[in-house]
Chains A and B, each alone.
Chain A
Amino acid sequence: MSNSQPLNPYIQLESPAHRLDSRIKLSLVFVYILTINLIPHAVWVVFPILFSVNLSLAVVSGIGIKKLLKRSLWVLPFVIAVFPLLFSIRGNTWFEITLLGFSFTASWEGLERLLSIVLKAWFSIQAAIILVSTTKFEGILKGLRWMKIPKLLVAVIGLMWRYLFVLVAEAKRLLVARSSRSSDLPDFHSGGSMIWRAQVTGYMAGNLLLRSIERSDRVYMAMLSRGYDGEVRMDNDRVLSRKEIHILLIGILICVCLFVLSLYFGGAF
């Protein structure tokens, strides 16, 4: 019933980051994330720089630091996933624990590695968040195509995105429909039995699947009948201006500088 898209990360605003051509933005973020992840681990000097770059971007793009940090909490499950590193990397002992008769040794090297990976993941996610908050999805697809990502892959990503919203919208309608008829009478115990409610929920899940498949099908038909041929058309790709190419080159240069700096502090030379 409501068309608002709670899952859509895009934030409609006016900012230099929003105005920047999506092809440039995508390429820059790509290079930036690559740089972040090429930086040797435990070069702590670089991390505050990266962090302040991200925070500045959050301010410039109008997203705001608070929102950026909140959205980047996504990284938390990742921390759990890499947690075993703490014990699997050998080095100077930090502490030891015994669990179920096995003894585990946490090393300082493991801690360093863990922290580096988590921070890198966190910064990368922040960069990605800034990208998707300032770029409409169509723009991102356009950027992907410009970067010569295979058409089929871009088309699949585009369809997944559409279908995601189809699914969410249908789920919302079903839930509203149900709650509209979930009512109390005075002097009656309402809500029905647990088993019945579970059953209803089960049917709804089935119904959701059915509807989503059919809706997706109709979306696809509608796209076909308007000339869709496996490729999402955008307004004719404008040739990038000199200034935009400059921005791209300067961005890449800064990333290379960051990388060299990190090698230097990491003791590579």
Chain B
Amino acid sequence: MSYVIRIKSLSYRYPDQQIGLNGVDLTILPGEKVALVGANGAGKSTLIHHLNGILIGEGDVNILGMTVEKKNLKRIRGKVGVVFQNPDDQLFSSTVYEDVAYGPIYQGLNKQEVKKRVAEALSMVGMQDYIDRNSYYLSIGEKKRVSIATVLSMQPEFLVMDEPTSGLDPRARRELINLLQQLPQTMLIATHDLDLVEKILPRTVIMYRGQVVVDGPTSQIIPDSNLLENYGL
């Protein structure tokens, strides 16, 4: 097995018949850091929801040698950490600590290990002082950072983030970019933040109307403003 994900002709329609994905092919190798860009409604979030089986469409999604299907979901969710676009889709506990600790406790790690993971994850996103706060009453940017911590605490092999820098103030954004740069994991990051893409994601995938239309080195794609313009960017 030489890939982290391999997606073959994946299609998905929402229950109201709206097309979400229309034949996506994508392979990501270990250690790659990939940008997923595309206009609003291109299908980025829909694709991401297929990576840990929240949505299961037609076609083949394979993650670290496992097909995304019901019986593999728990194993896969330990390997793939997904940070959703909207933090209210991520946080469900009453305090920041409980939210960040949920993944590791569920995995059966012991108390000290859980505590250590929570402390580490929160300090990575600069939220260690918020540990006892109610996550529901944080600002959007703070929620976003806690959301990222809830996934980091699980130490997944593959990190998937949906617009992680949207809603962050400039400093939090800079710090997040620094953090992502240091993390060793394979990453797929959906974003409109082209600066982030150029800084830390060497490969770029463009989606348009539910399909992958461009896939190549960031250094060639991002400077090509005609190409970006064509796909609504």
Contacts and interface: CB of A to CB of B under 8 A. Distances in A.
A78 interface: no
A200 B77 contact: no
A252 B16 CA distance: 37
Given A190-B107, A211-B136, A183 B75 contact: yes
Nearest to A172: B89
A206 B95 CA distance: 12
B194 interface: no
A192 B102 CA distance: 9
Contacts of B210: none
A4 B109 CA distance: 37
B78 interface: yes
A98 interface: no
A3 interface: yes
A181 B154 CA distance: 8
Contacts, number: 90
Interface string A225-256: 00000000000000000000000000000000
A176 B75 CA distance: 16
Contacts of A180: 52, 54, 77, 82, 84, 90
Contacts of A211: 88, 136
A176 B54 contact: yes
A156 B103 CA distance: 41
A186 B103 CA distance: 15
A182 B106 contact: yes
A245 B78 CA distance: 63
Contacts of A100: none
29 contacts: A1-B49, A1-B54, A1-B89, A4-B14, A176-B54, A177-B90, A178-B92, A180-B77, A180-B82, A180-B84, A180-B90, A181-B77, A181-B106, A181-B150, A182-B74, A182-B77, A182-B106, A183-B79, A183-B106, A183-B154, A184-B107, A185-B78, A189-B108, A191-B106, A191-B108, A192-B106, A203-B92, A203-B94, A207-B94
B170 interface: no
Nearest to B108: A188
Interface of A: 1-4, 173-174, 176-186, 188-192, 196, 200, 203-204, 206-207, 210-211
B103 A181 contact: yes
Given A4-B16, A190-B74, A211-B136, A183 B92 contact: no
Nearest to B54: A176
B164 to A, nearest CB: 16
Contacts of B108: 185, 188-192
B227 to A, nearest CB: 31
Contacts of A181: 77, 102-103, 106, 150-151, 154
Contacts of B151: 181
A188 B102 contact: no
Contacts of B103: 181, 183
